[in-house]
Amino acid sequence: MNTTTNLVQNTGLGLRRSFLTEIIKTPPKNVSFYEVAPENWMTLGGKLGKQFRAMTEQFDFICHGLSLSIGSTDPLDEKFIHAVKSFMQQHKIKFYSEHLSYCSHQGHLYDLMPIPFTAEAVSHVAKRIQRVQDILEQKIAIENVSYYAAPGQEMDEIDFFNAVIEEADCDVLIDINNIYVNSTNHGYDAESFLRAIPASRIAYAHIAGHYVEADDFLVDTHGADVIDPVWTLLAKAYELYGVFPTLLERDFNIPSLNVLLKEVDTIQSIQSAWSIQHNQKLA
């Protein structure tokens, strides 16, 4: 893991308003850090704003952006980036991550669109990431995203991803479910993709559920429980790279907090199993 990000170890949870009050009342012991989309929290006032401030005063937080549109040909929204910087400073939020995608073209598209896997796109995106890092005065992490088409493809997904990360000199948010979904939809080996990730740049990971449209077509929804093959892939990631902070995402069909925390427990159990095996090897 890249320790320069100063992220906490172990397990995290995407904070959602539906269980904010419950968490404030009884903070889960198995959650080390929380993640929020800054777009959804920057302008909050009133009761929700006070509740969020209470959370950030007690716990470590990460910002995970939805609308930076890092791959777009539209001008980079530097006003938004400065607003994110102020929000992070206000709440002492440690880190910012975004998707390797775009969501605007002369206006917002309200979806994460695939960037063409080309050398030209590598250069374009890397420059924009560098500019974001210059404004924020820190490295950010870029997430491998799910995609359902690859228009203008000249490179494999992993080669494109690694080229962007290297040229931008940024960190990696590794999304385990996205690797599984893409490997199924596009017919590649998930473990081979995982092995090619630049290990020294991994800041943290996401894990989530997806929707099965067909045996060979999965949809990354964050609206279901994590399935066993995705848990297995997470265990393989720890086997390859050691334990890194891992966060559970759930964006709709949100169950009770207790159900979510059982999945956080599963993350912890996989991390603990790795630690036991690692210590046995060292003994």
Q: Does residue 8 carry a pLDDT above 70?
A: no
pLDDT average, residue stretch 181-196: 97
Q: DSSP H helical segments within 169-255, as ranges? A: 176-186, 190-196, 228-241
Confidence of residue 5 (pLDDT cuts 50, 70, 90): very low
pLDDT given at position 71: 86
- Round to whole Å and give the CA distance between 160 and 163: 5
Whether 14 shows a pLDDT value over 80: the answer reads yes
Interval 238-264 mean pLDDT: 97
CB-facing half-sphere around the CA of 25: CA atoms within 13 A: 5
pLDDT-above-90 percentage for the chain: 83
Number of Cβ atoms within 10 Å of the Cβ of 158: 19
Query: Residues 26-63: pLDDT tens digits?
Result: 999 999 999 999 999 999 889 999 999 999 999 999 99
pLDDT at 107: 58
Q: Sign of the CA dihedral 45, 48, 53, 56?
A: negative
Enumerate residues 6+ apart whose C-beta is below 8 A from 148. 114, 185
Percentage of residues of the chain with pLDDT beyond 70: 94
Q: Which residue has the higher pLDDT, 36 or 278?
A: 36
Contact 37, 66 (CB under 8 A): yes
* Contact between residue 219 and residue 210 where contact means Cβ atoms under 8 Å apart: yes
Q: What pTM did the predictor assign?
A: 0.94
pLDDT at 123 over 60: yes
pLDDT for 175 beyond 50:
yes
Q: Stretch 128-150: mean pLDDT, rounded?
A: 96
pLDDT tens sequence across 79-117: 999 999 999 999 999 899 999 997 755 556 556 778 999
Give CATH for domain 3-282.
3.20.20.150
Residue 105 has what pLDDT?
Answer: 58
Q: Exposed, middle or buried by CB within 10 Å (0-12, 13-18, 19+), for 8?
A: middle
Tokens at 18, concatenated: 């539906």
Model pLDDT, residue 1: 42
Look at residue 2 and tell me whether its pLDDT is greater than 70: no
pLDDT at 156: 96
For residue 105, give both structure tokens.
């073209």
pLDDT at 202 over 70: yes
What pLDDT, on a 0 to 100 scale, did the predictor assign at position 106? 57
pLDDT for residue 67 is more than 50: yes
